[in-house]
Amino acid sequence: MSILKDVLSELFGMFVGDARLTAAILAMVAVAAVLIDGTALPPLAGGIALLAGCIAVLVVSVRREARQRGAAIARPPEDG
């Protein structure tokens, strides 16, 4: 059972290592799908939005993680 648990945990971690990152990427895919299927814009516009959105998600996610880790290091240990 431990092996099965580890396998499931590994599979989950492969795609949902960071819930915020996962949610942001899925949101970008949803936006692209709406642009392609729900508007009169050419499908390529949705594709470009997907690429640009994923790049933005990557940059924001790296900056957020770096800021959080920096703040954790800079923060003095609490008493007690």
Partner 1 sequence: MLDWSTATPAIGAAFLASLVEVVEAFTIVLVVATLRGWKPAVLGTGAALATLGAVVLVLGPLLDRVPLHALQLVIGVLLLLFGIGWLRKASLRAAGVIPLHDENAIFAQETAELSEAVRRQQTSQDWIAGIAAYKAVLLEGLEVIFIVIAVGAGRELLWPASLGALAACALVLVVGVIAHRPLSRVPENTLKFGVGVMLSAFGVFWTGEGLGVDWPGQDLALFVFAAVFLLAGLMSARMVRQPVPEVVQ
In the complex, the residues that contact partner 1 under the rule CB under 8 A are: 3, 6-7, 10-11, 14-18, 21-22, 25-26, 29, 32-33, 36-37, 43-44, 46-47, 50-51, 54-55, 57-59, 61-63, 65-67, 69-70
Nearer residue to partner 1 within complex by CB, 34 or 79? 34
Residue type, position 57, single letter: V
Nearer residue to partner 1 within complex by CB, 3 or 78? 3
Cα-Cα end-to-end distance for the chain: 39
CB hemisphere CA count around 78 (13 angstroms): 2
* Length of the chain measured in residues: 80
